[in-house]
Amino acid sequence: MTSLRAKQHGFSLLELIVVIVIISVLVVVALQRFLPYIDEAERVSVIRVEGQLRSTLVMEAAKRIVRGRSATITELEGANPLNLLADLPKNYVGELRAAAAADAPPRHWYFDTGSRVLIYRLGEPYARTTADGPQEDPAFAVRVAYADLDGDGLFEASRDELYGVRLERVGGTSWLSGAAKNF
């Protein structure tokens, strides 16, 4: 006589449900562990672009100095630093007026032509809790650094000492420093 177990093939409905529940729990736990890394990757990407812009600004200033055009460095003040890059970030939407800036998609760069500031529009975080509150969008402005030796408030290559050009963080510094990390 053959036993009932020998004839049974496959899983019972109860066994299948138990396996599905276990896999679902594992997926939820894994997502909770990996979602903060997506937010961190976004932050690191913005910092990487910031570094590229800093290097590009220094190279542009050096090029102008070598060519004897150091007086034109002041033209970089408030300029769109992305115009100096050979390859624009794929998520750059262009130069926008303040009214259109609200329509810039999340996780994209744009240059605000009114305030002369480069802004990265943050998206909704994947892992941050509601207790963290809203984060300010990271913003950057090009500034010319010089010693105003004659005290007139303007850079003049013949009278003032040029220190260089810098990309200044003017917004979103807590997000860029990683203060909102959740790992």
pLDDT for 33 equals: 84
Strand-pair partners of 169: 140
pTM: 0.77
* Per-residue model confidence (pLDDT) at position 131: 53
SS3 sequence of the chain: CCCHHHHCCCCCHHHHHHHHHHHHHHHHHHHHHHHHHHHHHHHHHHHHHHHHHHHHHHHHHHHHHHCCCHHHHHHHCCCCHHHHCCCCCCCEEEEECHHHHCCCCCCEEEEECCCCEEEEECCCCCCCCHHHCCCCCCEEEEEEEEECCCCCCCCCCCCCEEEEEEEEEEECHHHHCCCCCCC
What pLDDT was estimated at residue 133? 67
pLDDT digits (tens), the chain, 183 positions: 555 555 667 778 898 999 999 999 999 888 888 888 888 889 999 999 999 999 999 999 999 989 988 888 889 999 999 999 999 999 999 999 988 888 899 999 999 999 999 999 998 877 655 556 678 999 999 998 888 888 888 777 778 888 889 999 999 888 888 754 554
